[in-house]
């Protein structure tokens, strides 16, 4: 039977770069953009002699990239060897190796025969990323459609992905392989594959409401982090995998040694022992519940196509920290304070919404119709004023964050908030009902985000369109990894059909 798992994409609204170092925190919102992994047996029947085999087969299909790859997997070392000439997918390859090793490390002897049988049947893995992960700007333009979310919605689900072209003048050097929006497709993909395989192999059970749900998520988190780090060739902060597993939260990274020491151990220890050890490690990542206050919406706008490559930006910031420790420390301190202020204001707004729900609602709806410099004059009562002041406090904190991010970019010689994004963000923040806007994560040319009040997002989306910025269909969705009952291709097609019928 097929097992289908899905994991969400993310937007890091505070903590870019700082989150790489404990104990700095970052706020990461998960989204309704989801990556799916479908795992089923490659062979239904097992030949009697197969129990002697030391290899099994793995087939990986990525319909959106028009890729199909075959692998042989050693049942001794769990190493995958490509037997087809197709390009590799290290994220999925490590996800398979580490998930199988985790099964060996954790399942009791009584379950080993069943595990062996599932392995011998081979894996048929299909991966599908929701359209929101990728940039379809070029398709929309070439089809002569307007640059609107409606045009995006008219694309079929799981549309083919555009590759960024490479120019001889090196212009696209900073661009990633596929034209992406920056929602963390590799982390969501790795997490979905790990979750589907661990469920398929009986290591975790995500469909039960049992008390073990948290522990199951923790196992998926550790295996997905290990696989993602191996595939990326570095131990990043891991906020993208963390949000793909747990959904929206306030994240403090795990100690990098938890993974880096295991990578050293791989030279002299079998993979399942290494994985077993890491699973028992003292995982110290923090994830505190966080959600946007009520009646606030997350909106993403894609100003150009293609996105930025994060690793080179991180390298530049690290070099700057080494070459100018004093000034870089100073900037980080100020950024950290601004991040903490924004977080505190949003938490306070959540509290005010809970304590004064009606007043909160009416203040948000009023402010949603005005530019921020008019908010204060709309009110006189104490509670209303406190809410408006907190909104303005959140806004000012974001302006501060943006200022220091720009400083950091200038000092490190990289476009964290490049001039074109500054103009867009300033214009966005001056629109009626916009609480704040910024460049997510590492910044650069990925889609920008805005947090809007009430229904003002619709006007913002129209204004963006008229300035050649494509508002994406992405919304905040706090759900982390989950098991799906229906194939997303069937699901999305039927929901598309029913919405047409209803209309
Ligand atoms: N549908 C897919 N099928 C196969 N590989 C994919 C798919 N989507 C993304 N990838 C891989 O993930 C990489 C992008 O990951 P990442 O840099 O994390 O992007 P993001 O900005 O979305 O975080 C791509 O270069 C590609 O290797
Ligand atoms: C710089 C960072 O702190 C944040 C990068 O955030 P993005 O959201 O830009 O990430 P990508 O999906 O890799 O593009 C690096 C890190 O935390 O690992």
Residue spans per domain, the chain: 3-289+479-490, 296-471
Q: What is the DSSP letter of 391?
A: H
173 phi, psi to nearest 5 deg: -55, -35
Q: For 11-15, what is the mean pLDDT?
A: 98
Which residue's C-alpha comes closest to atom 21 of ligand 1?
182
pLDDT 10s digits, 238-288: 999 999 999 999 999 999 999 998 888 888 899 999 999 999 999 999 999
Give residue for tokens 């530019």.
371
May I ask the CATH class of domain 296-471? alpha beta
Give the other-Cβ count within 10 Å of 502's Cβ.
Answer: 6
Just give the CATH number of 3-289+479-490.
3.30.230.10
**Confidence (pLDDT) at 177:** 66
What pLDDT, in 10s, does the model give residues 57-114? 999 999 998 899 999 999 988 999 999 876 789 999 999 999 999 999 999 888 988 9
CA-nearest residue, atom 16 of ligand 1: 186
pTM for the structure as a whole: 0.94
Q: Are the C-beta atoms of 93 and 80 separated by less than 8 Å?
A: yes
Residue pair 210/166 in contact (Cβ under 8 Å)? The answer is no
d(CA 23, CA 252): 6
> Mean pLDDT across the stretch 317-327?
97
Q: Hey, what are 456's tokens?
A: 């003002």
Starting at the earlier edge strand, list the strands of the sheet with 448-453: 434-438, 448-453, 296-302, 470-471
Q: What is the pLDDT of residues 287-302, one digit of tens each?
A: 999 999 999 999 999 9
Q: Which of 421, 354, 422, 474 is nearest to 9 (CA)?
A: 474
Atom of ligand 2 nearest to the CA of 180: 14
Asked if 3-289+479-490 and 296-471 have one fold, the answer is no
Instruction: Give the nearest ligand 1 atom to 187 CA.
Output: 18
- Residue 345 near residue 397 (C-beta atoms within 8 A): yes
Please provide the average confidence, as pLDDT, over all residues in the chain: 91
Confidence tier at 306 by pLDDT (50, 70, 90) = low
Nearest partner of 198 among 118, 90, 282, judged by Cα = 118
CB atoms within 10 A of CB 170: 8
**CA 392–ligand 1 middle distance (angstroms):** 37
Give yes or no for residue 456 CB within 6 A of ligand 2: no
Atom 5, ligand 1: which residue's CA is nearest? 89
Report how far Cα 105 is from the mean position of its chain's Cα atoms: 28
| DSSP character at residue 119 | H
Is the backbone of residue 127 left (phi > 0), alpha (psi -120 to 50) or beta? beta
ipTM of the complex: 0.96
- Tokens for 124? 């048929």
- Beta-strand ranges (E) seen in 114-272 are 123-129, 249-252
Which among 108-117, 165-174, 183-192 has the top mean pLDDT? 183-192
Considering every ligand atom, which ligand is closest to the CA of 187? 1
Q: Which residues sit with their C-beta closer than 6 Å to ligand 1?
A: 62, 64-65, 89, 127, 129, 133, 176-178, 180, 182-187, 189, 307
Report pLDDT digits (tens) over 345-385.
Answer: 999 999 999 999 999 999 999 999 999 999 999 988 899 99
């Amino acid at each position: 039977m097929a097992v289908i798992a899905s994991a969400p994409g993310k937007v890091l609204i505070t903590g870019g770069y700082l989150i790489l170092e404990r104990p700095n925190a970052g706020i990461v919102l998960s989204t309704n953009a989801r990556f799916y992994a479908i795992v089923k047996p490659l062979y239904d029947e097992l030949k009697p002699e197969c129990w002697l085999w030391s290899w099994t087969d793995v087939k990986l299909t990525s319909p959106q990239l028009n890729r199909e790859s075959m692998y042989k997997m050693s049942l001794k070392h769990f190493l995958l060897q490509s037997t087809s000439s197709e390009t590799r997918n290290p994220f999925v390859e490590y996800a398979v190796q580490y998930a199988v090793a985790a099964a060996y490390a954790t399942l009791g002897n009584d379950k080993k025969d069943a595990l062996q049988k599932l392995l011998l049947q081979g894996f048929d893995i299909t991966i599908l990323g929701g359209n929101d992960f990728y940039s379809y700007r070029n398709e929309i333009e070439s089809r002569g459609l307007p640059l609107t979310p409606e045009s995006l919605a008219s694309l079929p689900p799981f549309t083919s992905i555009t590759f960024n072209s490479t120019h001889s003048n090196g212009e696209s050097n900073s661009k990633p392989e596929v034209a992406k929006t920056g929602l963390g497709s590799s982390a969501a993909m790795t997490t979905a594959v790990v979750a589907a395989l661990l469920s398929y192999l009986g290591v975790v059970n995500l469909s039960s409401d049992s008390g073990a749900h948290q522990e199951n998520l923790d196992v998926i988190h550790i295996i997905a982090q290990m696989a993602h780090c191996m595939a990326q060739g570095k131990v990043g902060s891991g906020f993208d995998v963390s949000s793909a597993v747990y959904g929206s939260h306030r994240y403090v990274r795990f100690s990098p040694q938890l993974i880096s020491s295991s990578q050293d151990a791989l030279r002299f220890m079998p993979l399942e022992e290494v994985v077993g050890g890491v699973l028992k490690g003292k995982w110290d990542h923090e994830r505190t519940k966080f959600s946007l206050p009520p009646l606030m919406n997350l909106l993403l706008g894609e100003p150009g196509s293609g996105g930025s490559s994060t690793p080179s930006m991180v390298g530049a910031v690290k070099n700057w920290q080494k070459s100018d420790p004093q000034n870089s420390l100073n900037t980080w301190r100020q950024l950290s304070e601004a991040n903490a202020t924004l977080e505190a204001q949003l938490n306070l707004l959540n509290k005010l919404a809970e304590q004064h729900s009606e007043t909160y609602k009416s203040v948000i709806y009023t402010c949603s119709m005005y530019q921020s410099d008019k908010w204060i004059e709309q009110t006189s009562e104490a509670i209303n004023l406190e809410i408006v002041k907190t909104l303005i406090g959140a806004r000012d904190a974001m302006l501060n964050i943006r200022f220091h991010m720009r400083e950091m970019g200038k000092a490190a010689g990289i476009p964290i908030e490049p001039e074109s994004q500054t103009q867009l963000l300033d214009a966005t923040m001056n629109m009626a009902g916009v609480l704040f806007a910024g460049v997510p994560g590492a910044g650069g040319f990925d889609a920008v985000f805005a947090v809007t009040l009430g229904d003002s997002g619709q006007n913002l989306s129209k204004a963006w369109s008229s300035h050649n910025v494509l508002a994406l269909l992405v919304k905040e969705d706090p759900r982390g990894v989950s098991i799906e009952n229906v194939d997303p291709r069937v699901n999305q097609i039927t929901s598309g059909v029913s919405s047409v019928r209803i209309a």
